[in-house]
Amino acid sequence: MSDDEEDRDRDFVGGLARGLKVIECFDDEHERLTIAEVAGLTGLSRAAARRSLLTLERLGYARSDGRGFCLTPRILRLGYAFLESTALPQLMQPFLEHLSERLNESCSASVRDGDQLVYIARSATRRIVSVGLAVGSRLPLHCTSMGRVLLSGMPRSDMIALLKAEPLRRLTPHTQIDLDAVVAAVDAARSDGYALVDQELEVGLISLAVPVINSSGEVVAALNAGSQASRMSARDMLDKCLAPLLATQKSLRPLVRT
């Protein structure tokens, strides 16, 4: 082992890593978990899972009803720390508001976090999906317009490996879950400069996204407009929204540094 590797090992805080792993195992399908369930989901021993949960409870990030644990609203401090410490959400919000007003459609921005996208800014004109979306909301990459343009910014081999890592979930009858077809859609997004998804995330929702590119030419985020499929076809979406999205992308490029 090299000195650098030894230094990295000495700097690695195992307890912090275990605590973060415990936090990450809570989601919309696992709102309340027992110690045994947390151990199973994280791969930690029951003793380590118990210590992490009790520490989070003592710090106010979790609570227990005697049968299981759930996170508390205090956990939002961790997410908002990112939003407060990076300029990208604040930079994009006025652009989203202007774009949403111009199109009279809901517009959003997101970044990639592993195999999901995370909303960092949003301007909504109406509720177009059944699940409320807000800053911090997470969605899968493979069946969303922003997800596909975010995937298009990755090295192709890394993108394929990411999509292969877990089975692709079917969320509606229209969701594309064939790996080759999703890879082809991402390749098309890379060559076309946009991705359009028609009712793959939710029946009745159509969305169009473009990448947010920094001054070095890297894809750092995604920008989209969403509408109801009942009042706008794919062709209508392209005709109405693509040019304004690309204009916003162009305006943002010299301002985005990271």
22-35 pLDDT tens trace: 998 888 778 899 99
Closest CA to 144 of 192, 100, 187, 206: 206
Q: Which CATH class is domain 3-74?
A: mainly alpha
The crossing angle, in degrees rounded to 10, of helices 14-24 and 35-42 is 110
Contact 200, 145 (CB under 8 A): no
Q: Which CATH class is domain 86-255?
A: alpha beta
Domain boundaries defined on the chain? 3-74, 86-255
Extract the runs of DSSP E, i.e. beta strands, from 87-129. 106-113, 116-123
Residue 136: exposed, middle, or buried by beta-carbon count in 10 A (0-12, 13-18, 19+)?
A: middle
* pTM across the whole model: 0.71
Q: What is the pLDDT of residues 115-174, one digit of tens each?
A: 999 999 999 876 555 556 778 888 999 999 999 999 999 999 999 999 999 999 999 999
Q: What is the pLDDT of residues 178-226, one digit of tens each?
A: 999 999 999 999 999 999 999 999 999 999 999 999 888 899 999 999 9
Phi, psi (deg, nearest 5) at residue 40 = -65, -40
